Chains A and B, each alone.
Chain A
């Protein structure tokens, strides 16, 4: 199975900071890569699919890039409501696999 490796596992940043999370696939997955946001007590929220396509309703401060094995999620100006865990997900075929998650905290 293809493994997804995310980094960092956690980060702490100030409001307004630019935040970057990376995800690496153990094999090429073209652009079948999604980013999921998870807040405590809430259901998972799809932020980005196809590596860089913003889901409807997601703020434009979120962006994604990458192709093949290396991917990035960027929050251009961190907001208090962005405190959450973020997961990358490959979905080119079963089994889908997820990164270990990155917990984003606000300083």
Chain B
């Protein structure tokens, strides 16, 4: 079946550090891939997405590239801010329009 695996948190970084959160997936066919972010006390928000191999999704300085050969969709940001502290979820939906499947989430804490 389809599944998403994320690196375990919490991840603690200093402001302006480089961020990578690893995400790998297992899926049949050609899924679409997503990153969602959840700020404290809030619901999830879509951060970025990619719908086919080699696509790069980007938003708010975050980027992720759909790598079919490694079945990965790692989230990166060149310089994190305190305001980026949140839980980040990788997710996929298969190309038949099935249900969104989430990874377990990775908590990021950015210190001043």
A, B from the same assembly: no
